[in-house]
A and B are shown apart, each in its own frame.
Chain A
Amino acid sequence: MSDATVSSTQAVVRKPGRLRLALAKPGFMTGIAIIGASVVLALFPGLFAPHDPNFIDYMAVRQPPSWLHPFGTDLLGRDTFSRVIWAYSVNMQMAFLATVFALLIGVVVGALVGYYRGIADLVFGRVVDAIITFPFLVLVIAVVAVLGPGLINMYIAITLVGWVYYARLMRAEVISQKANDYASAGIVMGYSDRRIIFRHLLPNAITPIIVYWMTDMALAILLGSSLGYLGLGAQPPQAEWGVLIAEGRNFITTAWWLSLMPGIAIVLTGLGFSLIGDGLADLLRPRG
């Protein structure tokens, strides 16, 4: 950033070579592959699940993995593999819907207060501090309890709390970017605030946000799982990884497949998001 001649467009228009470079990275590609596959599973679970995920078979309770049930069966004789597959639609939805609105709200609010500062920033600071000083889980639990359990309410609760993290990040980035020469140049040249914010500052400030988003999506799955464990997230009989793990945790030594398989699904998905995050960080990082 020490180069005074950085043009305002440089960071936005990426050289095509860089995209190719990023795509050539095995880590990034693995991430894309994992998340791509997860999305496909999430959209068409019925195509991949061999059994009805909610079919109860009293005679086949807690069976170990076999050809018929590759991940074994659960406490009700339901096919664990099919339940893990069907959970993809819930958990991927969770990753996206619980974070995307927080991202949008946070980015806009953060950019505005970061750019204008003043009284808005002061008020914003207090609201952020107030929300952020609550233990996250407590606030989400309380909001879900007030709104009633269920996925939609869980998304609302996570968004209500989660946007401040994006906003805080965005604000800090915008303040730091604004101090840079290209922004000052824009102001000198008489560009409108809107143009400076959305054309110049935002694209440059967005990198850490996007990288954080990837982590946050993995976190959203985790948080959703914790809420599922507490019974406040996905409602039965909907399969959800956190609920599946919670169901199996009494049987870590005797029926390990119950918790291990959904555990692997969570880890894989989290890995996918974080690999993409790392790849994007490389790809989007503006170079001076």
Chain B
Amino acid sequence: MAGVQYTLNRLVLMIPTFFLVMIIIFLLVRLLPGDPAIAMAGDKASDADIAAIRDKLGLSAPLWTQFWLFLTNTLQGDLGRSILARAPVLDVVLARLPTTLFLTIYAVTLSVLIAGPLAFLAAVNRGKWQDNLIRAVFQVGLSMPVFYIGLLLLTFLAAHLGLFPVGGYGESFVDRLYHLFLPAVTVALYTSAILMRNLRSAIIEVIDAEYVQFARAKGLPNRLILGRHVLKNALISTVTLLGLSIGQLMSGTLVTETVFAVPGLGRSMLEAIFARDYPLIQGLTLTFAVLVSLVFLMTDLFQSWLDPRMRLT
């Protein structure tokens, strides 16, 4: 019962969060120099044209009115029309959401698959060459800008060796796995490096902890000890970290989707920012916020389930 109550509380708390998100993004986009009318009409349009478009887009109205409209429309599920795409924002978001979701889940899965075993290997061989090698390799992955590593992968694995397609995102599920492998690896390199570091030290911490030492002294076989204690404890921090890094992971898709020509939300976001497409920026930000909030909620629930002290009030 407490769990249900807590979940409800968390859901209620998301309301002020979203309100805050909407205020921030609403004000931020309007503070940006330049406006959609200029971006939309193009450089060639006259000042009078710009003013007319501004009126038509409702940008001449007082900020307060605009925000009220944004708020009430959003609550009714109307995110407005994208200026750039000349289509409802919701359509644009829904068209691109599956691709980004697919890429994100794919990348997270790859990260766990890569980081998990290697972190374990590094931790139990702490200080030995295996440990150093694994950490060094991940460090390289962590330190490479996405726009560089992505291109390296494309150049050598895709264009030169022909192992993967250079762009696109495939049709069927398997085809998608194949098409999105390189972008997913690019995103995963970064996430798995962070994950690996954290997992490794979590495992080491547990190995060093007294109860494990104790268990070891009792003569329990190593494998059993590690299996029982280490993994369970490491799981907590891993999930927490994954949850925390989801926002950054989504940021990663901005550049990754551009480099790999994947038509997802991240690329839309960059385009929308550059075109000052207010409704689309707002809609995409809200979408990101909902996604990230859901992940946080799950993380929170998981965390509080394992460690009730962590509950937010």
Chain A interface (Cβ < 8 Å from any Cβ of B): 2, 27, 117-118, 121-122, 125-127, 129-139, 141-143, 145-146, 165, 168, 172, 175-176, 179, 211, 215, 218, 221-222, 225-226, 229, 242, 245-246, 249, 252-253, 259, 263, 266-267, 269-271, 274, 278, 281, 285, 288
A270–B151 Cα distance when bound, in Å, is 20
- Which residues of B have CB within 8 Å of A229? 145, 147, 255
Q: Once bound together, how far apart are the Cα atoms of A127 and B29, in whole Å?
A: 19
Given the interface pairs A118-B313, A141-B273, the reply to whether A146 lies near B28 with Cβ below 8 Å is yes
Check A133 against B292 for contact (C-beta < 8 Å): yes
Cβ-defined partner of A132 (8 Å) among B197, B247, B252: B247
Cβ–Cβ < 8 Å partners of A281 in chain B: 201
Do residues A130 and B21 form an inter-chain contact, with CB atoms below 8 A?
yes
**Residue of B at shortest CB range from A178?**
B309
Does B21 lie within 8 Å of A134, measured CB to CB?
yes
Is B24 in contact with chain A by the CB < 8 A criterion?
Answer: yes
> A132 contacts B145, CB within 8 Å?
no
- Which of B18, B142, B211, B248 meets A270, CB within 8 Å? B142
Tell me, in angstroms, the Cα distance from A211 to B247 when the chains sit together: 20
Whether B197 and A274, one on each chain, are in contact in the complex, defined by CB atoms closer than 8 angstroms, is: yes
On chain B, the residues within 8 Å of A27 by CB distance are 127, 132
A249 touches B148 (CB 8 A): yes
> Which single member of A252, A266, A274 contacts B145 (CB below 8 Å)?
A266
CB neighbours (8 Å) of A270 from chain B are 139, 142-143
Q: Are B146 and A134 in contact (CB under 8 A)?
A: no
Q: Which one, A121, A129, A172, contacts B313 given CB within 8 A? A: A121
Please, what's the 1-or-0 string for B4-43, where 1 marks a CB less than 8 Å from any CB in chain A? 0000000001101110110011001101110000000000
Cα A288 to Cα B293 with chains together (Å): 36
**Complex interface: chain A residues within 8 A of B151 (CB):** 249, 252
**Residue B163, interface by CB 8 Å:** no
- Mask, B223-260, CB within 8 Å of A = 1, is 00000000000000000000010011011101100000
Q: Is B285 an interface residue (CB 8 A)?
A: yes
Q: Which of A125, A127, A145 has the most CB of B within 10 A?
A: A145
